[in-house]
Structure formats: C-alpha cells, structure tokens
Chains A and B, each alone.
Chain A
Amino acid sequence: MIFKRFFSSSRLLKDSLVLVEGSQSQINPATFSTITAASKIGEPITALVLDPSLAESASKIEGVSKVLKTNGYDHYLAEDVTPLLTNLIKDKYNYFFTSGSTLGKSIIPRLGALLDVQPLSDITQVIDPKTFVRPIYAGNALATVKSKDNIILGSIRGSAFSPASTNQSPVSIEDIPKVESDSRTEFVSENLTKSERPELGSAKVVVAGGRGLQNKEMFDKLIEPLATKLNAAIGASRAAVDSGFCDNSLQVGQTGKIVAPELYFAIGISGAIQHLAGMKDSKVIVAINKDPEAPIFNIADIGLVGDLNEVLPELVEKI
C-alpha cells in the first residue's frame, strides 16, 4: 500500500482531519457536508473512521486524500475518542471538523479543552481559513468570527453545505492504533427510533406537525399519509414532542434538529422563534394552520388557513 504524504510546508497549513460519523457501513449524510466545508479551506483532507465498516465508502468521498482507520470505539464516547484525537491533531493537523451532531458536539469541546483551543459550533459559512460565520441567538443573528487559535476545531451545520460526492477512485486507507484512555464512563444501552422514512436531517421534504394536531392519534392520522405520499421525513415542534405526539428525536428547532429541506410543511405549528431556528432556511415553506395570525405565516412561502382535519386528507388525495 502506498501512503500519500504531504510534507510541503505550504500545504501543511491547511491539513484538515474530518471525523466520519456513522455505523454499520452507513456514513451519516452530515459527514458529506462536513467534507464540503473542509474543502473550502483546501486540501489535504484526512478522513478518520472509528468504525472500520465505513472506511471503504469514506475513501471514495470527493476531496478526501487519505483515510485513517481504527477500531475499538464502538459508541464514540468522548472520553475515549478525545485522547486519540489529541494525539493525532497535535503538530499534524490545523483543522478538525465534525458535523454538528450530538456526537460532534460532545467531542469537539472536550478536545478544545485538551488542546487549549476555543472551538466554533455550527459553522454555516467559511469566509477564509481563519474566518467563519455561525448563527447565534437561535439563528436570529449571524456572527462572523475570526479565530486567533493555531488549531481550528469546528462543528459544521450540515444543512448549510451541499454534500460531497462519492465517486472518486478510492484513496489509501491507513490503519492506526487505538489510544487507551483512562475513562470511567461506560456505555449501558441505547434505544434508537426505527424508521423507514428518510433521515430528518437530510430529507428533501419534511412534514412537521405541532400543537394544532391536538393528540397523538390525530398527529399520526394526518401527518403520516402526507409524509408517505411525499417520501418525506416527519418532524415536530417542541409542543408536539412535549405533549407526547411523537418521539423527541423528531423535534425541529434550536434545541432539536436543524433542517433545510427543499420543501417544509409546517402543520398546526404556530412558529415560535425556537422552531423557526430549526427550519427557516428551508427552500419552500408551506404553512397550514387554522389561526390566521400564527407567526409561521410571516415566513411561509405558501400559507393556507383552514381546518387540518379537512385540508390534510384533501391534500393527500390531490397531491
């Protein structure tokens, strides 16, 4: 196996390491957007896989120069992963990016503390190798910030960058050893929501329901057929999640998922700023609500005031 090495000093300044997230041979869609963001800095980009089943696919992602593969990090616990990352990054990489997932957000700050670096969360734009844009105040303001750190650690908002393509001829994959940690944290169990639908964070169409659906039965009865018809992911407002209409992991907003699909249906959602923070970059927003004063109508491209019980079945039938 030939290992590509990049020792020329001009390139050394832009060496990026990107964490490839995913499991069971499936790379999370947000990783492809993260690599696009890293490519705005320049090459080389090294992809790090902590799950060997992802290595081959990672080696075909456009822009990736090399893949580092290791094993033994089954649950990506930050306490285990950060010693490995600290070793890798020190003196070798000037950039480390993850997606703005719960995983990325658990790892990057811990790493920042160990490297004495102030990370950037949820980058939406790369202005130059030191300057980035990120949303603050639930997306009500955009801050352009310039880092004074020598190493830049950033999580990338997936919806802000198009996904890198996966058709390059595979680059080399290098095995690296696991780094032992003295972690006292143990994984106990997990409970993942199974779904046949597209993943909420990367779906082209999202059908989201809110308090206006009144109960779980109505949520399922009115939201699911439309989502099925449009091959859409289902989302929800915090009110819907708190009232038990659907699972927590479907929440769209400042404290849930940030989405920017081609088409977003806000059904029975009033449009509180925390919800808007999670979806206002959608390309086309449709709002259906019985309250004509609902703030969601201020940002919707198409608004329809009406009784959800009548409008939705008709829409499913005619669309």
Chain B
Amino acid sequence: MSSKLKILVPVKRVIDYAIKPRINKTNTGIETKGVKFSINPFCDIALEESIRIKERNPDSVESIHAVSIGPTKAQDILRTALAKGADNSTLIDIGEDNIEPLQVAKILKQVVEKNQSNLVVLGKQAIDDDSNQTGQMLAGLLNWPQATNASKVELNEDEVYVTREIDGGEDTIKAKLPMIITVDLRLNEPRYASLPNIMKAKKKPLEKLKLKDFGIDSIDNRLEVVKVEEPPAREAGVKVSDVDELILKLKELKAI
C-alpha cells in the first residue's frame, strides 16, 4: 500500500436499542431522562470492522481514530471504543442540542482533513433518527467513493472491495482509497471490551473540542421539528383457539 491507512470511525451515542422510547410531555421529542444510552449498534459494527482491518493488516494500518459529536456524556462511548481497540479519540461537545446529518458531515469533513484520514467507516444509520445519510453526505462533501450497507470489506493494495446489501440481493463494488464505507448489520459481531483494556483505555488520548474549533458559531439545523407523536395504536386483537377459528376470523376481516 502506497500510504498507510488512517481510519476514522464516527460513533454516535443513542438510546439503547432494546428500550422502547417514550415521547416527552411537550410532544417535541423523546424523553431522555433516566434512560439507558449506548453506542449506536451500527457504529459498533463500524468500529469492530476497523479493528479487524487493523488485525488482518497490522503493517498497513497506522491508526484508528474514533470521533463523536454529541453531549459531554458521549465520552463514555469513546472510552469504550478505545477499550475495544481504537488508538485515539475526539469528542466534539455540542451539549444537549440536536444536530442533523448535514452539519455532522460538514464537521466530519474537517476532522478527516485535520487527521488526514483516508478511510472512514460509519454505521449505515443511527437508530434514533433513522436517517441513513451521514456517510453518503461526507462522501459527497469530500468527493470520495462511497460504499453503503457493507456486508463484506476486503483490502487489496490501495483498492477496497465492498459487498453491499441491496434490495433483492447483494452487489460488489471496488474503489481506490480514500473512501467512505457505511456498514450493515451482518458485517461482523462486535467484541466486548475486557476489563484490563477498559483500564488501559483510560490512558489513551481523548481530545475534547467545541463547535467553535471548527469555525461554527451555532448549529444550523434545516428541519424544524413541529411535533413528535405516538404512532396510531392498533386496536386489540383476538386470540383464537384453533385453525378453523383462525380461518373464520380471516374471512370475517375479509383478509382472505
């Protein structure tokens, strides 16, 4: 490989995937008080893949840098990322404000340029806003190749082969570095951080920055949230005791 890989892994702190979110009283968002937060599952897979790329090609990876844009508490997930195998990390502390993918991508572009990253591995979507946008936007801003929904990543010199999950099956594309990869669920099974590694991670670098370090005064969200509501509830159904009754009920509902 002509130049060593400097991998950037953006990670997001989100409400834990197993928790059913509750809408706040003012209907403006989701209740976050006293709720368990975790690393976004897709970001965890992106981090795992980066670590595996390094383990498979120890001589060609210079570093793995984890970055998170979010509240002060997002440093918890960066510490976990360091414990799992990231070399260094950056928290861009924006407080409790919401930030949209476009703005995140603009900040990440600056991070990429500053760190001279040549491979960015992201989750395909955050499970809170479900946008599925940030990786593609970053690729657009940098004019880099993008491989979305990766289920397999293979390095070959300075070319990367990525198999993607697409509607109806899968396809494989290849691109020359630098590039952006967003990862799908089936790419890998993320590891757990061991206790000794958690202890060691406390000594690894965690840089703390603010928006003004990126020449940004305030968050420029383009979408105004008018309201957040519960989806319409389904009416209670019936339990039937056998197949005959099931068929009868289906006919009653004109479903068959």
A107 to B105, CA, bound (A): 15
Closest to A182 in B: B143
If A113-B141, A131-B226 touch, whether A283 touches B255 (CB-CB below 8 Å) is yes
Contact, CB under 8 Å: B250 / A138: no
Quick check: is B129 within 8 A (CB to CB) of the other chain? Answer: yes
B231 near A112 (CB under 8 angstroms)?
A: no
Q: Which B residues, 133 to 147, have Cβ-Cβ distances below 8 Å to chain A? A: 133-141, 143, 145-147
CB <8 Å contact, A248 and B170: yes
- Contact across chains for B136 and A318 when beta carbons are under 8 A apart: no
Interface residues of B in 209-256 (CB under 8 A from A): 221-231, 234-235, 237-244, 246-247, 249-250, 253, 255-256
Given the known A-B contacts A297-B237, A305-B239, are A146 and B226 also in contact in the complex, defined by CB atoms under 8 Å? yes
Asked whether, in the complex, the Cβ of A185 is within 8 Å of the Cβ of B255, the reply is: no
Q: Out of B23, B161, B222, which one reaches A148, CB within 8 Å?
A: B222
- Does B222 lie within 8 Å of A184, measured CB to CB? no
Q: Mark B173-190, 1 if CB is under 8 A from A, else 0.
A: 111100100001110000
Cross-chain contact A143 with B228 (CB below 8 angstroms): yes
Give the size category of A's interface with B.
35 or more
Task: Give the contact-size bracket for chain B.
Answer: 35 or more
Cβ-neighbour of B127 out of A82, A137, A280 (below 8 A): A137
Complex Cα distance, B139 from A107, in Å, reads 11
For B230, give the chain A residue with the smallest CB separation.
A141
Kindly provide the distance from the CB of A144 to the nearest chain B CB, expressed in whole angstroms. 4
From B173, B235, B238, B250, contact of A187 by CB (8 A): B173
The yes or no answer to B196 lying at the interface (CB within 8 A) is: no
- Chain B, residues 19-41, CB within 8 Å of chain A (1/0): the string is 01101000000100000000000
Contact of B173 among A77, A112, A142, A262 (CB under 8 A): A77
Is A140 a contact partner of B173 (Cβ separation < 8 A)? no
A292 to B130, CA, bound (A): 31
- Contacting pair B175 A113 (CB below 8 A): no
Contact B246 A186 (CB under 8 A): no
Q: How far is the CA of A283 from the CA of B237 in the complex (A)?
A: 12
- Given A189-B171, A273-B20: A120 in contact with B223 (beta carbons within 8 A): yes
Q: How far apart are A151's CB and chain B's nearest CB, in angstroms?
A: 11
B167 at the interface (CB under 8 A from A): yes
A263 near B: Cβ within 8 Å?
A: yes
| Overall SS of chain A's interface | mixed
Residues of B within 8 A of A82 (CB): 140
- Judged by a CB distance under 8 angstroms, whether A12 is at the interface is no
The interface residues of chain B lying within 8 Å CB-to-CB of A185 are: 145-147, 173-175, 179
Min CB distance B160 to A, Å, is: 10
Give complex CA distance A228, B226 in Å: 45
Q: Is B93 an interface residue (CB 8 A)?
A: no
Determine if A139 and B255 form an interchain contact, defined as CB atoms under 8 angstroms apart: no
Residues of the A chain whose Cβ atoms lie less than 8 Å from the Cβ of B175: 184-186
Q: How far is the CA of A304 from the CA of B244 in the complex (A)?
A: 11
Contacts of A105 in B (CB 8 A): 132-133, 136, 148
Contact between B165 and A249, CB atoms less than 8 A apart: yes
Query: Please, how many angstroms separate the alpha-carbon atoms of A105 and B136 in the complex?
Result: 9
Name the CB-closest residue of B to A284: B255
Binds B, one of A40-48, A88-96, A172-180, A190-198: A190-198
Please determine whether A147 and B231 come into contact, CB atoms closer than 8 angstroms. Answer: no
Q: Is B128 an interface position by the 8 A CB rule?
A: yes
With A117-B222, A141-B231, A249-B165 given, is the CB distance from A263 to B255 under 8 Å?
Answer: yes
Interface: B101 (CB within 8 A): yes
Which of B17, B102, B235, B253 lies in contact with A117, CB distance below 8 A?
Answer: B102
Q: Are B227 and A144 in contact (CB under 8 A)?
A: yes
B149: CB under 8 A from chain A?
Answer: yes
Residue of B nearest to A131 (CB): B226
A66 at the interface (CB under 8 A from B): no
- Closest CB pairs A-B (n = 9): A113-B140, A109-B136, A109-B133, A118-B222, A190-B171, A192-B169, A110-B140, A113-B137, A185-B145
Interface residues of B (CB under 8 A from A): 15, 17-18, 20-21, 23, 30, 100-102, 105, 124-125, 127-141, 143, 145-149, 151, 161, 164-176, 179, 184-186, 221-231, 234-235, 237-244, 246-247, 249-250, 253, 255-256
Given contacts A107-B136, A108-B136, A302-B250, 11 further A-B contacts (CB under 8 A): A118-B100, A121-B130, A136-B130, A136-B228, A141-B23, A184-B175, A191-B170, A301-B235, A306-B242, A318-B243, A318-B247
Q: Which residues of A contact B (CB under 8 A)?
A: 75, 77-79, 82, 101-103, 105-114, 116-122, 131, 135-149, 182-193, 201, 230, 238, 241-242, 247-249, 254-255, 257, 262-263, 273-274, 280, 283-286, 297, 299-306, 311, 314-315, 318-319
